[in-house]
Structure 1
């Protein structure tokens, strides 16, 4: 299975387009199904960034909504938060996409951008916020590792 890996710099051009990094385009093309958009871009629920999914991965993930009563408020809330601001996009011949203004505003994108691979998805960030997030994730991961190793030690018996 191909994955989104690495951090890549890009820039919003004068026409408001950004180039999807070529390694990410390769993953998207590898996972593309005939008749589907190449990718789905949506605001992150957790961070001031955008999430990019292959269309097939996005629709497989969204299948979890089938577990909810389609007439319930939970289903309606989840569907609204998942789909209302999700945009199917295809790249032009040069690998660029035009992002809707509301997505750019959500992530504070203007000029330089950073693409971060997260395995099955990628994120698009303002570069300063991307670096903050990477540092935060590293710190929290170190703390998690310390907590796990301290709880896995055997307690001596008297």
Structure 2
């Protein structure tokens, strides 16, 4: 699995969208990712993004906490939203 680690400063378009840089899209295609997963960066005014492998890692992290625990709910809400 390839990874893309970089920083891009992009503007939102008129519809509130941001484009995914071509090198990132190439990695997603190479990894046969089903799409792109985005979540707020912790402690920074940014968005973190990745493909199916990142989503699987996040799901595994959340599953490591006891069901219905406050910690699990906090992490799930931070990464998945409401």
TM-score, normalised to structure 2, is: 0.75
Shift of 1:6: 4.4
User: 1:2/1:73 Cα in 2 relative to 1: closer, same or farther (>3 Å)?
Assistant: same
5+ long unaligned stretches in structure 2: none
The structure whose Rg is larger is 1
How many residue pairs match? The answer is 82
Cα distance in 2 between the residues matched to 1:61 and 1:70? 15
User: 1:49/1:9 Cα in 2 relative to 1: closer, same or farther (>3 Å)?
Assistant: closer
Superposition RMSD on alpha carbons, in Å?
Answer: 2.2
Which aligned pairs between 1:98-117 and structure 2 lie closer than 5 A?
none
User: 1:84/1:10 Cα in 2 relative to 1: closer, same or farther (>3 Å)?
Assistant: closer
Partner of 2:26: 26
Partner of 1:79: 76
User: 1:16/1:82 Cα in 2 relative to 1: closer, same or farther (>3 Å)?
Assistant: closer
Partner of 2:54: 57
TM-score, normalised to structure 1, is: 0.44
User: 1:72/1:21 Cα in 2 relative to 1: closer, same or farther (>3 Å)?
Assistant: same
SS at the partner of 1:51?
strand
Partner of 1:115: none
5+ long unaligned stretches in structure 1: 86-158
